[in-house]
Amino acid sequence: MSYVEVPLTRLALVALLVAIAALVSRRARLDLEGSIAWAAVRGAVQLLAVGYALRLLFAYEHVLSLALALSVMTLVAAWTAARRVEHAPDRRALFWPALAAITAGGVVSLVPVFALVITPTPWYSGRYVIPIAGMMLSNAMNVVALTLERIFASARAEAPRIEQLLALGASPEQALHAQERAALRAAMTPTLNGLFTVGLVALPGMMTGQIVSGIDPKSAVRYQLVVLFQLVAVAAVAGWVAATLSRRMLFTSREQLRPF
């Protein structure tokens, strides 16, 4: 099967599509032209750089280089997830819970799959591990950001109710149960919706990529299913860890709701 390359000159042509968006923005007075241009340039530079980095990584395959790449990805995901939370007792302290939650989700979703399901040789083959880990970490990042934001916002809004439960003899876990449940459900919904509508609304990214690069759709579908199931696990685990750790931040050792 042939593979159609995109030459750089033609890639430049696609930039015109961004120009169309900028024109629409000016016409409708959205005042987004600057953001559109900056996002386009930044996205292009980031992706081109990543392209070269991946090439390097795949050329010199080594456990350490893979570990380094995964660490950088996890750290950036944790930093981004923590930064997006607006209602928190201490935003600077959010990095560590976010890191723990994203790491936990990543480990649970990736290790069994690369040990038992997708078994490349060598096992640290970046070509397999990096893209799939990227999807997991990015989902974990979104779930963690949503969970943290929602738990802290609702704990603040519903502080009287939480305190009333504590006064009735509730443990912090019981007092925060309703907020934790709502936050986790909301954070997991996009992942579950993705699973419900997969193939009906859009073909998922991984499968699309494989099909475009000439892989038999039957194989591509299997890979995609692996990824989708991993995404559910990563969402559940990362969200749950984030919720548990945010509860620890919300209550003192004397089981009092921290004022914030």
In the complex, minimum distance from the CB of residue 181 to another protein, in angstroms, rounded to a whole number: 12
Residue 16 CB neighbour total at 10 angstroms: 8
Q: Which residue blocks in 113-176 are alpha helix, DSSP H?
A: 126-157, 159-167, 172-175
In the complex, minimum distance from the CB of residue 175 to another protein, in angstroms, rounded to a whole number: 9
**Residues of this chain that bind another protein (CB under 8 A):** 160-161, 163-171, 174, 252, 254-257, 259
Beta bridge partners of 257: 251
User: Which CB sits closer to another protein, 136 or 166?
Assistant: 166
In the complex, minimum distance from the CB of residue 166 to another protein, in angstroms, rounded to a whole number: 6
User: Which CB sits closer to another protein, 61 or 255?
Assistant: 255
Secondary structure of 47-71 in the HEC alphabet? Answer: HHHHHHHHHHHHHCCCHHHHHHHHH
User: Which CB sits closer to another protein, 32 or 170?
Assistant: 170
User: Which CB sits closer to another protein, 7 or 169?
Assistant: 169
Burial class (CB in 10 A: 0-12, 13-18, 19+), 37: middle
User: Which CB sits closer to another protein, 37 or 170?
Assistant: 170
Residues 172/247, Cβ–Cβ less than 8 Å: yes
In the complex, minimum distance from the CB of residue 255 to another protein, in angstroms, rounded to a whole number: 4
Measured CA to CA, the distance from residue 14 to residue 209 in angstroms comes to: 18
Closest C-alpha among 82, 225, 222, 209 to residue 142: 82
